[in-house]
Amino acid sequence: MEKKQRKKFISFAFIGIVIAGIITLSLLTKNGKIERLAFAEETNTEASLGSWEELKEGLSAYPELYQAAFEEEGVASGENIFIIPGMDATLTLHHEHEEADICTTMTPQGLAVNKDYLFISAYCQTKEHNSVIYVLDKKSGSFIKEIVLNGIPHAGGIAYDNNHELLWVTSEKGDTAQVITLALTDIEAYDFADSAEPITYTDSIELPEIKRASTITVHADDLYVAYFNNDGASVMHRYLISTKENEDGKEVHALDTGKSTEEAYPDDVDKIGKEIQGLAFYQEKLMLSRSAGRKKTSTLLSFDHLEENENFTDENASTEITMPSYLEQIAVDGKQLFILFESGAYPYRDHGNPSIDRVLRVEIDTLFSE
Question: Are 278 and 344 found together in one domain?
Answer: yes
- Is 21's pLDDT higher than 70? no
Distances (CA, A) of 318 to 68, 218, 313, 327, 367: 19, 22, 11, 19, 13
- Is 25's pLDDT higher than 50? no
Question: Are 26 and 59 found together in one domain?
Answer: no
Question: Are 10 and 63 found together in one domain?
Answer: no
Model confidence at 198, pLDDT cuts 50, 70, 90, reads very high
User: What pLDDT was estimated at residue 16?
Assistant: 45
The distance in angstroms from the start CA to the end CA of the chain is 78
Question: Are 60 and 15 found together in one domain?
Answer: no
User: What pLDDT was estimated at residue 43?
Assistant: 97
Question: Are 163 and 296 found together in one domain?
Answer: yes
Return the H-helix or E-strand segment holding 207: strand 203-207
- For range 286-309, the mean pLDDT: 89
From CA 137, how far away is CA 357, in angstroms rounded?
17
Residue 291 lies in a domain: yes
- For range 52-72, the mean pLDDT: 92
CATH number of the domain that residue 204 is part of = 2.115.10
User: What pLDDT was estimated at residue 23?
Assistant: 38
From CA 329, how far away is CA 289, in angstroms rounded?
7
- Is 50's pLDDT higher than 50? yes
What confidence tens digit (pLDDT) does each residue in 214-255 have?
Answer: 999 999 999 999 999 988 999 999 999 988 777 777 777 878
Provide the domain count of the chain: 2
Residue 253 lies in a domain: yes
β-sheet bridge partners, residue 287: 280, 302
- For residue 321, what are the contacts with CB-CB under 8 A and spacing of at least 6? 64, 65, 299, 300, 301, 367, 368
From CA 340, how far away is CA 358, in angstroms rounded?
7
- For range 115-128, the mean pLDDT: 98
Percent of the chain with pLDDT over 70: 89
Question: Are 148 and 21 found together in one domain?
Answer: no
Residue 204 lies in a domain: yes
What confidence tens digit (pLDDT) does each residue in 89-105 have?
Answer: 999 999 999 999 999 99
Mean pLDDT of the chain: 89
Question: Are 189 and 287 found together in one domain?
Answer: yes
From CA 327, how far away is CA 293, in angstroms rounded?
9
Residue 35 lies in a domain: no
Question: Are 234 and 312 found together in one domain?
Answer: yes
- DSSP for 257-292 reads SSS-TTB---SEEEEE-SSEEEEEEETTEEEEEE--
User: What pLDDT was estimated at residue 243?
Assistant: 82
Residue 37 lies in a domain: no
User: What pLDDT was estimated at residue 19?
Assistant: 44
Domain that includes residue 3, residue range: 1-30
Residue 107 lies in a domain: yes
Question: Are 116 and 21 found together in one domain?
Answer: no
- Is 65's pLDDT higher than 80? yes
User: What pLDDT was estimated at residue 215?
Assistant: 97
- Is 258's pLDDT higher than 60? no
**Which phi-psi region, left, alpha or beta, contains residue 367 (left: φ > 0; alpha: ψ -120 to 50)?**
alpha
User: What pLDDT was estimated at residue 14?
Assistant: 47
Distances (CA, A) of 147 to 99, 133, 308: 15, 5, 40
Question: Are 7 and 76 found together in one domain?
Answer: no
Residue 144 lies in a domain: yes
- Is 35's pLDDT higher than 50? yes
- Cα 132 off chain centre by: 10
User: What pLDDT was estimated at residue 229?
Assistant: 93
Question: Are 16 and 49 found together in one domain?
Answer: no
Question: Are 173 and 298 found together in one domain?
Answer: yes
From CA 36, how far away is CA 116, in angstroms rounded?
34
Residue 344 lies in a domain: yes
